[in-house]
Structures are given as structure tokens and as C-alpha cells.
Structure 1
Amino acid sequence: MTQSIQQQQQTYSPAYFDSGAEDEIDLRELLAVIWRGKWLIVASTVVFSIAAVIFAINQPNIYRANALLAASNQESNKLSGMASQFGGLASLAGINLGGGGGTDQTTLAIEVLKSRQFFKEFLDKYQIKADLMAAKDWNLVSGDLSYNAELYDVQSNKWVRQVSTPKQTEPSMQESYQVFEQVLSVSSDKETGLITIAVEHISPIVAQQWVSWLIKDINLVMKQRTLQETSANISYLKEQLDKTSVAQMQTVFYQLIEEQTKTLMLAEANDDFVFKVVDPAVIAERKVKPKRALICVLGTLLGGMLGVMIVLVRHFAKGGENAG
């Protein structure tokens, strides 16, 4: 027993604790190392600060235009009423009236708005590819856009950029869509149900115009889809009406045709078919980014941290070599 205690005492001798203390980091030593390498830290901080300032200055101002929208509930309410009244019979007849737990018009319209097909039609209709892909600067006085000459030749109206395969000289629809996804945002407030459509661009005029076009076109697209579907439903119901001689079924078909006709008339008369504008987009007077002051501060901090890290790494690397 005595021999075991002596062995433990030898194991946990003062030399054991002293060896552990040697591995601890001395704060005073760290401060001394940092002080000796202060010029390297200062140089790193200055270099990064200057680079951050240059980067921030060269970044173009980005403006955001947004519009606040409310869902036009007339159509959805009408379809919900029809679905509850005639939903079962309409399903037997092969007609989908909606309102039965499927995607509502507002949600569908938002997804259509963000789809590639809608963007392709929007791109072709308004010819915005140059404004989207090659715009370089915006003149505050004249309101005109300038374009990157290495990408797009304004005089000849041709793309001149040098790219490698699979990219093409003129940006494709898919490449343009990827950029458009970054400048377009669509959000919905779960409490109020209001929808916000926003576009960011170096020109506040372009941003405001795109938002207005998007609202007008999505209402038009959804209106046309409903008109086509409703017209097809009416044609189908009339065909089924001619085929049946059962009085009860004829009554149901007449009622369905009447409701579909009302829906058709409502769609034709309503330009704000899906979205009503609560607060229209305006030309922004202030930029939303870049945050130049923040960029400069972060650049300075990054430079200082990098300088400190280099000094400490060099010191401990030398210490390890000396110990070896």
C-alpha cells in the first residue's frame, strides 16, 4: 500500500504540473509578440483598408423599386362557392372548379411569375436583355443607362462578349434567368396576405418600370389562362348536355354552364384579375446598396485580423523549430 502511494506521488510530482504549465499560453507573451509585429499588422490593415475603399467606390449604386399588392378575391370566392355547391357533380362531369384544397390563384400566380416560361415571354416582349446583362452605369442627370462595351455594342445592337463554351456570345435565356432571379424578389405577409414584388437595378427608372410590367403581365397571363380554361369547360358542358336526356343532369349542366359563364364574364371585365395594386412602385431616390461604409469597416477589420494571425503563426512556427 505504501509503495503504491509513493508511486502516485512520483507520478504527480511538481515536475508534472510544471510541464503542464509550460503548455499554457502566456497572455503577456502574446501581447509582446503582437507588439513586435505591429508594423506588419499596420501594413496589412492599411493595404486591406485601401483595397476595401477602392472596391466600395467602384461598386455601382443599386436601387430597389417595390409594389404592395393585394389578392383579388372575387374569382377565388366565386370558384370556392361553385366547388362547394357543384364540386361532386362537376368532378363526375370531368370539370375542375378549384377551391377543393388545391393551389389557389394567388399562390399559382406567384409561382408563374417566378417561372422560366413567364420570364422568357417577359424577356422577348420588352427586350430587356441588355439592361439586365450588360448595364454598367446610370446617369443621374440624364437618366440614361450606359453599357459595358466589352459585353454589348450599343451602336450595332450586338453582343460582343468573349466567353467559353457552353456559354454563347449573346446570353441565353437560362443565363439571363439566373441573373433575373437575383434581382427579383416576391414575398408574402402571412398575417395580412399582402404581396410585395421588388426589383433591384442600377437604374431606379428601369426597376420601377419592370415592377409595373411584371404586375400587368402576370394579371394578363392568369386572366388568359382562366379564360381558356373556362371556355373549354363551357364547351365541354354543352357537349355533355346534348348527350344526356336525364332532366336532373340537364339541370346540373345548365347551372354549371351558368356559373362558368359568370366566371368568364368576370375575367373579361377585370384587368386586376389576380393582384390589385395597393401601393404602386415609384422611382427610388436612395440606393439600397452597396453599404460602402460597412465594406470599408469590414475590410479594415479583416486586414488587422489577418496581420495578427500572420504574426502569431510566424512566432509559434519559429518556436516549434527551435524546440525541435
Structure 2
Amino acid sequence: MPQTVQFTSPHCVEVVDQPALELRPGQVRVRTSFSGISAGTELTAYRGTNPYLNRSWDPDLRLFVDDTSGLNYPLAGLGYSEVGQVVEVAPDVADDEVPPVGAQVWGIWGHRSEAVLPAEKLRGCTIPEGLDPVAATFARVGAVALNAVLAADVHLGETVAVFGQGVLGLLATRLVRLSGGTVVAVDAVPGRLEKALEYGASAVVDAREGTAGPEIRRLTDGRGADVAIEFSGSYPALHEAIRSVAVNGRVVAAGFYQGEGVGLRLGDEFHHNRVRLICSQIGGVPPALAERWNQTRLNQTFLRLAVDRQVDPVGLVTHVIPVEEAAAAYRMLDRRPHEALQVVLKFP
């Protein structure tokens, strides 16, 4: 029977058997090979801090409202970084509408060994020839990093401080370098700072010192960074990013911030240096680019960079773990994050 990873309650993960779904008209069946774990979004559900667990998003108001019709445990099949093989196509699906049986594809269908999807969900999602399937699990993750770099509006010769050198931060570090910026990488894990240098950072700052802002100003002859991108989802880190930029500088908040903003003081440097705070979220591209860019272009651009060896996503994979050991994988990411970067679940 197909297997699905589910959170039965906070900090409790199970791999459960579920009946195979019937293939209906207009659908395809995909058998999963690999599925990457998001150490940001997914851990909010694992820990029970995700806002959807105690409120609901009203798409018309564009507000969270106080009711409990949102997410509820058990949460099954989270995940948005999957690759697999097309194993069945409904008879009514035209040959040009979907990759054929046997094709290797990437997409979003969660941590499950098998998925039945509308055919249009896989249009344009064939893994490019010559690309490692594990690299294709980064299609969505790479799009998130690229979206933040586009929001940063990096110009040739600018200094960009990238706060948080996990997977997203390291990808952004490389993308900023490809965009002509000079990167100062900030993190509290020494191994990640070493990796940042490998991915193109010109300098690194240890966040444990608590002086990232002043240190970045020192590295820029007192001016400050032109732009900072914050990925960690930590309010103190966001505050330090604000401290690090020049007058009228830009700060892109790309992390998934939880709870109240303890440690963020908007009456300090934010107010006095007229810092521009920009949100980047994968639900939309920067408004100025909306006529030319969309999520499909983000995905395809990142995968093309991987095919061309401009970006090395596989180099960020520290663990490939059998899906049966998913609970241990989440426990490691939650309790010992310094031990891992990208964790990928492998399906039989």
C-alpha cells in the first residue's frame, strides 16, 4: 500500500499506509523517488507553531481570522519538493498534455510514495536531461531563494548581507553572486559559514557574537550593506539585518516568522535610517516583475542554472534517509539543526 508521512500531533511523526487512489479522468499517477524536507515551513507544523493550526486564512479578506477550520492534526503528506516517475495516465489525457509513462518529473505532492494528480499539475515538469533527480527536488526551494533575490533588486557592485545560511540562504548567496552582488553571510553555525564561502560569500559573520550589524558596517567602511536578505525567521536576526543596512537600504524578510516579534525594535535603526522593509513570499513575485515573471519561470530558471552547473543544489544535501526513518529525520532537524542542511526522504 502507498505510504504517507503524517504529523499525528506536535513532535510526533508516523509513516502510515493508505489505500491507493483510483485514477479518474484527467489524472496521472506518480510514484515518488525522493522528497525534500523543508526545515522551515514543515517544522512549524511539526512544532505546532504554524498559524494555520489555530486560525484560518480568509482569501477574500486576505486576513487570518479566529476560527479553527484551518489545519488540524493529523497532518498528512506535507512537503513541496518531490520527484518521481509517471506510472499511469488516464486514457482521456492527450499525449501533449502531460509527460508520458516512464518520465521523471518534479512537483508538489507531499511526502507520500504515490500520488494521483491532475494532469495539468505536471505540464512542463519533466526533469531536464542530465539533471540529478535529487537536484530536481530543489525546484520549489530554489524558486523561493530566487524570488527573495529578485525582491532584493541586487545591482552590480552592491553589498548584500544574507542572514541565515541554511539551504535557502546558501542558495541565495550563490544567486546574489551570479547577480553581481558581493555577499556577507551571517549565521551562528560555523559549518554553515564555511559552506557560505564555498557558495560565493566574500566574508562571513558569526551571529553568536551579537554584533552582525556593526561588523557589516565595518566591512563596508561604515556605510552598511546596500541590501540584506533575512531567511532564518528569527526576529532578533531581522532586527540585526535592519541594523546592517545603509541609510535608505533595503531589507527583504524572507523567513517564516512565528509568534510575536520579540527582539524586533522598529523605533531604532529602522526608523532613523529610513530602512525599506520588503516581504518575499513564494505566493507571488515582486510586483514590479509581475508582468514578466511567475512561479513557473522561477522554477524553470533555477533548474536551468542547476543544469548549467551555475548552482549546485546537490551539494547542500547532507542526509538521504529512508522514508521509514522520517521521525528521526524531523527530530534531528528540530533538536540538532547544526547537523544537517538539506534532508531528503528516499522512497522504495
Structure 1 and Structure 2 fold alike (TM over 0.5): no
TM-score scaled by structure 1? 0.20
Point out the structure with the larger strand share.
Answer: 2
Point out the structure with the larger helix share.
Answer: 1
Larger Rg: 1
